[in-house]
Structure 1
Amino acid sequence: MTAHAAANDAGRAPRVFFYVQHLLGIGHLARASRIARALGENGFEVTLVTGGMPVDGFPGPGINHVALPSIAVGDGGFAALVDANGNVVDEAFKADRRDRLLTAYHACQPDVVILEAFPFGRRQVRFELLPLIDAIEKSEPRPLLMTSLRDILQERAKPGRDEETIDLVVRHFDRVLVHGDPAFVRLEDTFPLANQIADRVLYTGLVGAAPADPPAKRYDIVVSAGGGAVGAGLVEAALQASRRLGDIGRWLIITGPNMPQADFERFAAQSAENVELVRFRTDFRSLLTTARLSISQAGYNTVCDILQAGCASVLVPFASGGETEQTARAQRLERLGQAVVVMEEALSAETMASAISRALSAEAEKNVPVLQLDGANRTAEMLRDLLK
């Protein structure tokens, strides 16, 4: 008997065990939280397991949350993992996380397990995810196992990685949930072996949030730097551009909670009277609904919020360390006339000011294609159908 058959027999709400590990930004956590919230609103019992540094406001109220001991990437890049104190994690630390994860899984007794990104990403935590998959395969009843992907994947640099991913999907995963609109981008556009698992791929649409109410205070230009750990260049260029462009309205600059304090204080000292600088706002989506222009990186959740609000946008895709995902997204949006792109290596006061002027001048003539943005609720509908 499968786990979902057992749930139906018992007449209980279907249970979802959802694992997400954010390592640098907060995009993965934000998207998973949106999906978890929608699942709960659609009658699922959700346990969301997180393993990154705590972020205020996430995963949000009403979600059963299991927080594993926190890890993040070290200064040496994604290969090195550190704990909350900045110490490189050792084998004992990994074993403790693995055991906590397995304990949470067995306590949940889920009908569906969703692993965010893995095996297409998050290889750094396979020390705990491979044992979890092994436990799933040994479970009686066995839950459905799915992976949850953003619309655009990071290009693989090492040979054999795509083949390894396909092998894991074919052996263990029932479905691949792609949180994107195939009219914008398809899995095969950024994952060359997608045709080998085409029968398991489901497109949910982009995971936008619920429509937001207008904010109490309106800003013309909203600048956001994601989590903030790598956003200093964007914020500095925006501040310099604000002085060059003169009075084009009120600015709000959101640096992100992870921006170093020294950078935040330096930018605060540079801000003019019409510029407000804050670390974090819980009403970001609301702010965009009345803004003329958004200036941001090109992360998945931020782009969803911009598309939903319909404001003009300047995108500065994060591209350090060989990252390709944001660049691919930004360039596709620019080709659709939905953004002006400034690459990180070309970022300056001049290029930012020029991009802002172009984006605002094109604002009135923008023809926005309709993209599916209700991916969270559609994910719930798809799981419900699969469980039937």
Structure 2
Amino acid sequence: MSQHSGMAAPPSGIASLIPARIRNILAPESGHLRELDGIRAFSIMLVLAAHLLPLTFTGWELNESAGIAGMSLFFSLSGFLIASILWKRPQVKPFLIRRVARIAPLMYLYAVVVALVVYWRPDTFLAILTFTLNYNDPQIYKGVSHLWSLCVEMHFYLGIALAVGLFGRKGFWIVPIAAVAVTGLRIEDGAVASIRTHHRIDEILTGALLGLWWANRGTPALQGAVWQGIETWVRRLLPLLFVLWLLACYPPARPLPYFRPYITMLMVSGVMLQASDGRLKQFLSTAPLGFIARISYALYIWHPLMALGPMSQGSAPVRYLIKRPITFLLTFIAATLSTAYYEKIFTDWARRLTGQSRRQ
């Protein structure tokens, strides 16, 4: 076939043995900030490490901190993505269709497997189905406890959709107001890392602020000397912001954990500014990190199941040197297959229904 035919050459060698749908996951996408893939990949790797590995060093119990760190990045990127989407296209109905199609199908499949088949807990299944698990402590147990974060996500989707649906882009004014209000409530209640939406959603809201800033960065209002100076200082202070972020993810380091949403927002913005060119961008845009990012949601959903039952039993050497590698392998296989063959059914349907191309 001619190189000028406008069609991509068929895969050759080992690549030809990989099914097309999985090759689509491996292939980098265009039209988005690839450096964010690197951040997303690190967020899920931190969460997996927190849940599956013994992160204890000289008496420091760091599993909780690693989980908090991973979720802070996850929430910040989520807010960034949602604000960017709705600012560009402030249409609530297609937005909700696409987000529900992205989140619910795999979450519900997992709920059937774990809540109904493994445990037979219809009450837990109902809490997951209605995105109220993070307010139903008796229904939270090993294997489903991680789904609290998706409840927070869905509550944010509904809230921001309501604001934009009622007021259009002016509805985004609720974002900074709500972020400050939630942070104040967290400080008053001593909530450092809660699973309740009203004690955690400020991490998504500050990510949304970052998305709004990035979406409007080229406008005259954000091109003045003040904003340019802020960007310059955020770049220069990135190492300090990274250290502050690590401390903010360590619960005993109060009061910094209360301000983790804002520190994360500044750190991520610093990474984005620093990664606008140079080696950092090349590193964050590498193919392995991109692949992990594209299956990150499925990795998050499946990983607790792979560590249940016999996979969590035995001595520490047996659990962590023999069984954990198997758990990681099974998790990556399940995530790759479900992303390529299950989730794609629903996301493609939502794109067709809302008139959105895959690259938008």
TM-score (structure 1 length as normaliser)? 0.27
Q: Which structure exhibits the higher relative contact order, with contacts defined as CA atoms closer than 8 Å and separated by 6 or more residues?
A: 2
Between Structure 1 and Structure 2, which shows a larger proportion of helix residues?
Answer: 2
TM-score (structure 2 length as normaliser)? 0.28
